[in-house]
Structure 1
Amino acid sequence: MTNTANTSAIACQVISVEALTPGISKVVLRPEQAADYSAGHYLQLVLSENDKRPFSIASSARSELLELHIGTPAGDTWSSAALSHIEQQFRAGLPVMAEIGLGQAQLRETSNRPIILLAGGTGFSYVYAIAQTLSAASASQPVFLYWGVRHQDALYYQSELTEWARQHKQFRFIPVVQQPGPGWQGRTGLVHEAVLADFVSLEPYDIYIAGPFAMAGIAREAFAEHGAHREHMFADAFAYI
């Protein structure tokens, strides 16, 4: 499924809004009719006919609920306005409208190539959906999930992913903190550089990327120089950079 202007908006009941961190909220929606999407697709929240705001879907396509992770850092009116709209509808008992199943960077489920999932910040929601889908399908190929954040308190699903890695030998979770605080014993620096340091060549891998557009562009070029095939790198940001 690809991004298309003909996608119809679906009414979605707001089930919950809760803080994951002081600047990131988890929103859970229930579509009032079946929503057709795959892991790695995104939705557009319809604030008005001329104001539609995209957010990655963090839940598996097998779920009847849609999970979103909405970051609202200080000074960010774009995401804050979307979250405020959701909260207003929630308080009023009214649905929000969303166009669901957009994008071109969904999981290629027929591929058996090993996988690298790379996320910056709340781009994690995109790779989280893919990781859940691979886990549910008992995928046998190695999966490496790299999650880069500025501060370690933004790793809001760290304990869950660490447990996944403990239970599934083919799954590895590598958190990378750019500005670590006291006591952090994990990887530090830029997340894409951690990937480059860990692999001699990226030629065999399918690579899925989500995060700030600048990060996606830098990662694409660096990974290509490190052997990755451009046709095996996927990110919706690539359509805009």
Structure 2
Amino acid sequence: MDETTRRAFSIANIQDGSNRLELHIGGAKQSQYLADILGYLHNAYHQGQRLLIDAPHGCAWLRENSERPLLLIAGGTGFSYIQSILRYSLNHYPERDVYLYWGGCYQEHLYFDDEVTALSQEYEHLTYIPVVEKASAGWFGKIGQVINVVYDNFQSLEDMDIYLCGSRDMVCGARYCFVRYRKAVISRVISDALM
């Protein structure tokens, strides 16, 4: 918002020739910081101001030279990064097996659940597993922490490419657990940790 107030966000959309940049900004709890960001963006948009962004950094892009199954794991708004990997993969490699696990504290935190469910019905190679920590009446998905559900569902992750996005604690814990106990290959565990 100025030289001293910067925030990193994962890009949620794929390059499609438009000038559109999709970010997922949310918060499970109300915070003044979040309110300031959303207020700033709202005002800038309505005043026709241009926003200056710093180009993407890091190395968390989809590795296209692999035919291994994809394991995509998102916590909360970490789905933004996972969504871009998912959409690119479905567009360019629709025959590649994809397992998507998306976790949130409550069902409403899975804000694109209907869209992802529809994609999983459209693409036979996409398996979608929604996970909530606190289930409401009528919830038929998995209950618990998303990383624990993945851990329980796979005895070995040795032959998979794994993409993670969520809190730093979630990402670090998953990397450690998957490599140590589920034979994941560390060089094939790609992550974008939220700050």
User: For this structure pair, what is the TM-score category when the shorter chain's length is used for normalisation?
Assistant: over 0.9
Q: 1:133 to 1:217 in 2, by over 3 A?
A: same
Indicate yes or no: 2:53 matched with 1:53: no
**Residue 3 of structure 1 aligns with which residue?**
none
**Residue 177 of structure 1 aligns with which residue?**
132
**Residue 231 of structure 1 aligns with which residue?**
187
AA partner of residue 202 (structure 1): L
1:1-241 to 2 correspondences below 5 Å: 47-64=1-18, 65-224=20-179, 225-237=181-193
Q: For each residue in 1:3-29, what CA deviation from the matched residue of structure 2 results, as whole angstroms up to 9, or x when unmatched?
A: xxxxxxxxxxxxxxxxxxxxxxxxxxx
* Identity in percent: 35
Partners of 1:180 and 1:138 in 2: CA distance: 34
CA contact (8 A) 1:113 1:206 kept: yes
CA contact (8 A) 1:72 1:80 kept: no
Partners of 1:79 and 1:61 in 2: CA distance: 27
Partners of 2:140 and 2:95 in 1: CA distance: 29
CA contact (8 A) 2:132 2:145 kept: yes
Would you say how many aligned residue pairs link Structure 1 and Structure 2?
A: 193
Partners of 1:63 and 1:153 in 2: CA distance: 31
Q: 1:63 to 1:210 in 2, by over 3 A?
A: farther
Q: Would you tell me which structure has more strand in proportion to its own residues?
A: 1
| Structure with more relative contact order (C-alpha pairs < 8 Å, separation 6 or more) | 2
CA contact (8 A) 1:53 1:82 kept: no
Partners of 2:111 and 2:29 in 1: CA distance: 18
Q: 1:144 to 1:82 in 2, by over 3 A?
A: same
Q: 1:196 to 1:63 in 2, by over 3 A?
A: farther
**5+ unaligned residues in a row in structure 2: which ranges?**
none
- Specify the SS of the correspondent of 1:89: helix
Residue 90 of structure 1, CA deviation: 1.2
Q: For each residue in 1:189-228, what CA deviation from the matched residue of structure 2 results, as whole angstroms up to 9, or x when unmatched?
A: 0101111111120000110100111111111111112110
**Given the two structures, how large is their TM-score scaled by the length of structure 1?**
0.76
**5+ unaligned residues in a row in structure 1: which ranges?**
1-46
CA contact (8 A) 1:117 1:146 kept: yes
Q: For each residue in 1:136-160, what CA deviation from the matched residue of structure 2 results, as whole angstroms up to 9, or x when unmatched?
A: 1133221011000000011111111
Q: For each residue in 1:160-182, what CA deviation from the matched residue of structure 2 results, as whole angstroms up to 9, or x when unmatched?
A: 11111111111111100100011
Residue 88 of structure 1, CA deviation: 1.3
CA contact (8 A) 2:94 2:123 kept: no
Partners of 1:109 and 1:156 in 2: CA distance: 28
